[in-house]
């Protein structure tokens, strides 16, 4: 048993650290640390910096313009990025569609779309969920009917994250209505400029705008935009979900959030005492640190295992559940640490001498509420438990 990274991995870690030190713009790191909303330009700027280094597509092979990193290297990169408060890589093109095209796309599709993802010409969004099809994704109803060399699409997608920045959407659509629902689904690429598409914003619980509804009325899409074969969309969707779930534990986010929380607890005072010296709060802080340490190792164990076997298995469900619960527990403590001062809207936060909360923490309550989403999306924690239960109980 050896819990340390190999010498090569350690060298890689140092290289990533040095790169982030030199290249991550301070303004971006500050925005991330303060949990301010990033603009489209902010995200594109960070992508461009990574792309220039050749580090943007961590999961793609070198031939496709990716890094060819091992799972452990990807993990190291993610963790270091979180520690440094780098913006999160927007996953839809790079971590979702990219791997799908590499596995199921035609040569022409790969040549057309992959470079555009890397250089930022295309911003993709994910059109899976519908109002009636959330956990039961296979029940989706958005219909694509063949008409000559086109499909005509009618229906509605929802919860489309960052669709407001996107110029393209990859969709699961129904191409066959008889038989098993899973067997009538296809995966198509749609240009959002196509006539008949309307996008409407959805405001989230804490007031932010990051998701949308997308309506399709007689939208014509060339059949050449089909990925894989007609009616094999479900296989693709499942493959993609597996990719979505690597790094799902969000260990890096939790490590960084816990560091921030500890620093906060040394600044906040209750009467004469620092919050970190009050036994009840300190006990909760210690507990969450214990949980996180254990999960960090669980994550590495599963990573090592996946590296050996070549693919992540159902244990990613375990990481998703525990990872989100721990992140939410840290968010909860960060909100509570502020006492009454957590309540003002972050946009109305006072600064300078009038500041109500220590720097960087004005959005703690908003983040807590917003992050309730992480146990709902990407397959809710209940659905993950169903998967695990099926695995052990049949």
Partner 1 sequence: MDFEVSEDRRMLADSLGRYLSDHYGIEHRNAVAYDAPFHDAQKWRDLAELGVLYALAPEDRGGFGGAGFDVVTVFEQLGRALCPEPVLPQLLATRLLMASGADLEPLLSGATRYAVAIGEIDAPYAVEDITTEATDSGGGWRLTGRKSVVYGAEAADRILIAARHAGGIGLFEIAPGNADITAYGMIDGGGAGEMFLDKSEAVLVAGDAGAMLQDALDWGALALAAEAVGAMDAANAMLIDYLKTRKQFGRPIGGFQALQHRAVDLGIEIEQARSITILAASRMGTQAQSRSVSMAKNLIGRAARLVAEESIQMQGGIAMTWEYPASHYAKRLVMIDHQLGDTEFHLERVMADLRPAR
Ligand X SMILES: Cc1cc2nc3c(=O)[nH]c(=O)nc-3n(C[C@H](O)[C@H](O)[C@H](O)COP(=O)(O)OP(=O)(O)OC[C@H]3O[C@@H](n4cnc5c(N)ncnc54)[C@H](O)[C@@H]3O)c2cc1C
CA-based nearest residue to 194, from 165, 152, 248: 152
Residue 245, SS3 per DSSP: helix
* Measured distance CA(66)–CA(54) in Å, rounded: 7
Catalytic-role residue among 244, 287, 348, 359: 244
Q: Are 143 and 173 in contact (CB under 8 A)?
A: yes
* Measured distance CA(380)–CA(270) in Å, rounded: 37
Q: What residue 286 binds from ligand X, partner 1, none (CB within 5 to 8 A, per partner kind)?
A: none
- Pick the binder of ligand X from 143, 262, 274, 373 (CB under 6 A): 373
- Pick the binder of ligand X from 25, 68, 120, 134 (CB under 6 A): 134
* Measured distance CA(236)–CA(348) in Å, rounded: 44
Q: What residue 154 binds from partner 1, ligand X, none (CB within 5 to 8 A, per partner kind)?
A: none
* Measured distance CA(378)–CA(83) in Å, rounded: 23
Smallest gap from residue 241 Cβ to partner 1 (A): 17
Choices 101-109, 116-124, 144-152, 200-208 (CB under 8 A): range interacting with partner 1: 200-208
Smallest gap from residue 362 Cβ to partner 1 (A): 11
Q: What residue 153 binds from partner 1, ligand X, none (CB within 5 to 8 A, per partner kind)?
A: none
Tokens 């979505």 belong to residue: 244
Residue 5 or 377: the one with the smaller Cβ distance to ligand X is 377
Buried b (16+ CB within 10 A) or exposed e, 192-223: bebeebebeeeeeebeeebbbbbbbeebebee
- Is residue 280 at the binding interface for partner 1, with CB under 8 A as the rule? yes
Measured in whole angstroms, how far is the alpha carbon of residue 13 from the centre of its chain? 22
CA distance from start to end of the chain: 32
The site string for partner 1 over 252-271 (x = CB under 8 A, - otherwise) reads -----------------xxx
The site string for ligand X over 203-232 (x = CB under 6 A, - otherwise) reads --------x---------------------
Measured in whole angstroms, how far is the alpha carbon of residue 152 from the centre of its chain? 30
Q: Are 57 and 98 in contact (CB under 8 A)?
A: yes
* Measured distance CA(73)–CA(55) in Å, rounded: 11
- Is residue 161 at the binding interface for ligand X, with CB under 6 A as the rule? yes
Q: Which residues ranging from 93 to 152 are in contact with partner 1 (CB under 8 A)?
A: 129, 132, 134-136, 139
- Is residue 159 at the binding interface for ligand X, with CB under 6 A as the rule? yes
Choices 171-179, 188-196, 205-213, 302-310 (CB under 8 A): range interacting with partner 1: 205-213
- Is residue 324 at the binding interface for ligand X, with CB under 6 A as the rule? no
Element (H, E) at 146: strand 143-147
- Pick the binder of partner 1 from 61, 115, 313, 339 (CB under 8 A): 339
Q: Which residues ranging from 108 to 127 are in contact with ligand X (CB under 6 A)?
A: 126
- Is residue 173 at the binding interface for ligand X, with CB under 6 A as the rule? no
244 as an active site residue: the answer is yes
Residues with a catalytic annotation lie at 244
């Amino acid at each position: 048993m050896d819990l340390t990274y190999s010498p090569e991995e350690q060298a890689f870690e140092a290289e990533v650290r040095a790169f982030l030190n030199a290249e991550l713009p301070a303004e971006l790191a500050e925005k991330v640390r303060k949990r301010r909303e990033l603009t489209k330009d902010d995200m594109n700027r960070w992508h461009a910096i990574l792309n220039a280094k050749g580090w943007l597509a961590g999961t793609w092979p070198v031939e496709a313009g990716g890094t060819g990193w091992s799972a452990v290297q990807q993990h190291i990169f993610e963790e270091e990025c979180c520690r440094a408060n780098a913006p999160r890589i927007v996953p839809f093109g790079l971590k979702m569609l990219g791997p799908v095209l590499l596995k199921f796309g035609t040569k022409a599709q790969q040549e057309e779309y992959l470079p555009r993802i890397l250089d930022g010409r295309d911003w993709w969004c994910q059109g899976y969920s519908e109002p009636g099809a959330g956990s039961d994704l296979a029940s989706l109803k958005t219909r694509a009917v063949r008409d000559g060399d086109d499909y005509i699409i009618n229906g509605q997608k929802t919860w489309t994250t960052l669709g407001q920045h996107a110029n393209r959407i990859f969709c699961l659509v129904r191409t066959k209505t008889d038989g098993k629902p899973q067997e009538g689904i296809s995966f198509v690429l749609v240009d959002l400029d196509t006539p008949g598409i309307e996008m409407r914003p959805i405001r989230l619980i804490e007031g932010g705008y990051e998701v949308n509804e997308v309506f399709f009325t007689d939208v014509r899409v060339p059949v050449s935009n089909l990925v894989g074969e007609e009616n094999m969309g479900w296989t693709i969707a499942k493959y993609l979900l597996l990719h979505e779930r690597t790094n799902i534990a969000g260990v890096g986010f939790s490590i960084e959030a816990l560091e921030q929380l500890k620093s906060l607890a040394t600044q906040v005072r209750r009467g004469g005492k620092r919050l970190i010296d009050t036994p009840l709060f300190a006990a909760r802080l210690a507990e969450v640190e214990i949980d996180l340490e254990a999960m960090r190792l669980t994550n590495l164990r599963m990573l090592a295992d996946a590296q050996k076997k070549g693919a992540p298995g159902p244990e990613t469900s375990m990481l998703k559940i525990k990872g989100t619960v721990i992140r939410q527990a840290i968010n909860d403590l960060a909100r509570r640490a502020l006492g009454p001062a957590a309540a003002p809207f972050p946009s109305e936060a006072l600064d300078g001498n009038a500041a109500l909360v220590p720097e960087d923490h004005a959005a703690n309550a908003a983040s807590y509420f917003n992050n309730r989403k992480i146990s709902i999306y990407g397959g809710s924690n209940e659905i993950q438990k169903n998967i695990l239960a099926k695995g052990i109980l049949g």
